Amino acid sequence: MRRPFICGNWKMNKDRESALSLVRGILLGITPELGERVDIGVAPPFVYLPIVSAVIEGTPVKLSAQDVFWEKEGAFTGEVSPYMLKDLGCTYCIVGHSERRIYFGETDEHVNKKVKALLEACITPIVCVGEKLEEREEGRVFEVVSQQVKGALNSVEISSGEELVIAYEPVWAIGTGKVATPEIAQEVHSYIRSLLKETIGDVAEKVRILYGGSVKPDNIAGLIEQPDIDGALVGGASLKAESFCEIIKVAGGM
């Protein structure tokens, strides 16, 4: 049984005060029972990681970064290493988000280096994959996703499967309000699971595969009941404590 995982990706939003009030609001909305049923993460911008980390310490809410650089230290102006993230208490780190691929030229090779560096630092990578609208229209969904998953995991050692999370985020569904239907998402999730089996073997059953793209309180139920959808990476709806907590409750069956 895979425990559901809901992670909020705040992207480049919030300031010090509103980041603190969001995370405090989330903590108020999460009962200990819910924290037992669902793994919960928040991914604030780098600069707010320390203040959010201090507030969530000892609670069921875990810290995620939105990106990382693969080197341990050195002359890499503007970059942040996995060890710095670990130092701040990060449990997870998003890599290969489509916004990074599109605006910052991130490639599967970069994602692969980041995954390896994160695993070495004992941080769970949340590897984002997903096709663009034109790729779906050309019937290339499996081809694109396969290249991204295999590229990200190229010569990566996975031992238990729990140390890896994949997020399927069709680019056409991100921030657009156009959520993939549960059936469309399940089709790709099950394909990703079969790819994982080929790549890392039976531990693929332990890897959580999240769906991302316009997840809201009113569409999470249909998604989470699918056999290969193990949670969600939530953008817009994670910026308000009320909607984020509602998504977590539904995912926890409460």
Catalytic residues: 97, 169
Structure tokens at 87: 């130092």
CB 14 within 8 A of CB 24: no
Nearer to ligand PGA, 124 or 214 (CB): 214
The nearest distance, CB 73 to ligand PGA, in angstroms, is: 29
Q: Which position has the token pair 């993939």?
A: 180
Least distance between ligand PGA and beta carbon 240 (Å): 12
- Residues 139, 144: Cα–Cα separation, whole Å: 10
Compute the least distance from the CB of residue 203 to ligand PGA, in Å: 25
Backbone Cα Rg of the chain: 17
List of residues contacting ligand PGA (CB under 6 A):
9, 169, 174-175, 212-215, 233-237
Q: Output the residue with the shortest Cβ distance to ligand PGA.
A: 235
Identify the CA nearest to 17 among candidates 41, 51, 54, 43.
51
Select 99 or 108, whichever has its Cβ closest to ligand PGA.
Answer: 99
CB of 101 to ligand PGA, least distance (A): 12
For residues 41 and 212, which CB has a smaller minimum distance to ligand PGA in the complex? Answer: 212
Give the nearer residue to ligand PGA in terms of CB position, either 151 or 235. 235
CB-based burial of residue 135 (10 Å sphere; 0-12 exposed, 13-18 middle, 19+ buried)? middle
C-alpha to C-alpha distance for 138 and 71, rounded to whole angstroms: 37
Euclidean distance between CA atoms 3 and 174, whole angstroms:
24
